[in-house]
Amino acid sequence: MGDAEPGGDLKDRVLNPVEAISPMQLFQRTLSRPVNCTGIGLHSGRRVNLCLRPVEPDTGVVFKRTDRPGSPLIPGDVNHVVDTRFSTTLGSDGLTVSTVEHLLSALAGMGVDNVLIEVDAPEVPIMDGSAAPFVFLIKSAGLTSQAKARQFYKVRREMSMSEGDKTVSVAPSDALKVDFTIEFDHPAIRRQQMDFSLSERGYEKNISRARTFGFLSDIRALHEKNLGLGGSLDNAVIVDNYRVLNDDGLRFPDEFVRHKVLDFLGDLALLGRPVLGGFTAFKSGHQLNNQLFRELLADRDALQLVVPGLEQQQKPRRAAKPQAPQQVAVA
């Protein structure tokens, strides 16, 4: 995407989340401090408190249901996906957490490897229907580089899944790329395509603000099932048969496909490690994405664990001018 890599100012430990971060960061990262927010649950319409906490290296992304006795944990990985019908739902020992994909997308897009996600409800708050509020939270917390190398999954061979006219496929690539196409017989959507290569700036600017979308008729059907009760024009783009109903219109002319990329990155995060591979999707959704990711994990030859060489990490530091002694606040 041509995003310039800021050079010459990489620090050993604490990295500013906006600057000096490459998607090829070599050390695992967690948040610098806990952060909280409150929103409403898309399905219940009720208030949900969310807290993101720093954790040790190699922990990955783990959810905690603080509303239940003993605050049980639910791992954020592809093998704990129990439902993909309206959003991605994770479950463990009969306990679930829904609507995880926008938060997972923000964490992956901003390069957070290890985090504990506490919620006091069976769902993550929907916020404005995009990942931007979560990006804001992550940036408010700041990111800390941890003393443990990041391991990537490198895709080694092509693989593809289809269901009807929906397809999703992957091929080897040195970077994470997502080429997504959607097609709706709807005057406000039609055919939209986006080819996205992951970088944190690119994610924040081009993907994170794209909101989820729904059709008025589907939303009525959800309400009849007592689902989607928190859904409104405040947290989704809603279209009737002809047009976008939101007063302020769209954030991007192709906001719909951008949100599909956002969702895809959230689903992909459930592999548990950053991925180097080129994905191509046509009309795919959570279910088909998840099938491909499970298949990738199950096939021993499809993914290779790689730890990028330390020499790559050395380059920007050598290029940097010797730094003046850091100013340290003395208590």
Residue 91 burial (C-beta neighbours within 10 Å; 0-12, 13-18, 19+)? middle
CB 304 within 8 A of CB 174: no
SS3 content of the chain, % helix, strand, coil (to 5): 25, 30, 45
CB 294 within 8 A of CB 172: no
Question: Which lies closer to Zn ion via its Cβ, residue 208 or residue 212?
Answer: 212
Which residues partner with 331 through β-bridges? none
Catalytic residue among 43, 102, 259, 286: 286
Q: How far is CA 186 from CA 83, 236, 283, in A?
A: 27, 17, 14
Neighbours of 234 (CB within 10 A): 13
Question: Which lies closer to Zn ion via its Cβ, residue 21 or residue 255?
Answer: 255
Does residue 263 belong to the site contacting Zn ion (CB under 5 A)?
Answer: yes
Neighbours of 143 (CB within 10 A): 24
Would you call 286 a catalytic residue per the annotation? yes
Task: Give me the amino acid identity at 147.
Answer: A
Question: Which lies closer to Zn ion via its Cβ, residue 15 or residue 78?
Answer: 78
Interface segment toward Zn ion; rule CB under 5 A; list 106-114, 148-156, 205-213, 245-253: 205-213
Interface segment toward Zn ion; rule CB under 5 A; list 25-33, 209-217, 232-240, 290-298: 209-217
Q: Which residues lie closer than 8 Å to 269 by C-beta, 6 or more apart?
A: 61, 76, 104, 105, 107, 108
Provide, rounded to whole angstroms, the least separation between the CB of residue 38 and Zn ion.
20
Among 212, 284, 289, 290, binds Zn ion (CB under 5 A): 212
Does residue 255 belong to the site contacting Zn ion (CB under 5 A)?
Answer: no
Provide, rounded to whole angstroms, the least separation between the CB of residue 301 and Zn ion.
31
Query: Strand 213-215 vs strand 237-239: parallel, antiparallel, or unpaired?
Result: parallel
Provide, rounded to whole angstroms, the least separation between the CB of residue 105 and Zn ion.
8
Question: Which lies closer to Zn ion via its Cβ, residue 22 or residue 287?
Answer: 287
Provide, rounded to whole angstroms, the least separation between the CB of residue 242 and Zn ion.
23
Q: Which residues lie closer than 8 Å to 146 by C-beta, 6 or more apart?
A: 27, 28, 29, 30, 56, 57, 113, 114
Provide, rounded to whole angstroms, the least separation between the CB of residue 259 and Zn ion.
6
Does residue 98 belong to the site contacting Zn ion (CB under 5 A)?
Answer: no
Binding mask 139-158 for Zn ion (x = CB under 5 A): --------------------
Interface segment toward Zn ion; rule CB under 5 A; list 137-145, 177-185, 208-216, 225-233: 208-216
Apex CA 39: angle with CA 84 and CA 98, to 5°?
A: 15
CB 168 within 8 A of CB 136: no
Provide, rounded to whole angstroms, the least separation between the CB of residue 68 and Zn ion.
25
Question: Which lies closer to Zn ion via its Cβ, residue 3 or residue 254?
Answer: 254
Interface segment toward Zn ion; rule CB under 5 A; list 64-72, 260-268, 308-316, 321-329: 260-268
Interface residues with Zn ion (CB under 5 A) are 212, 263
Q: Catalytic residues, which ones? A: 286
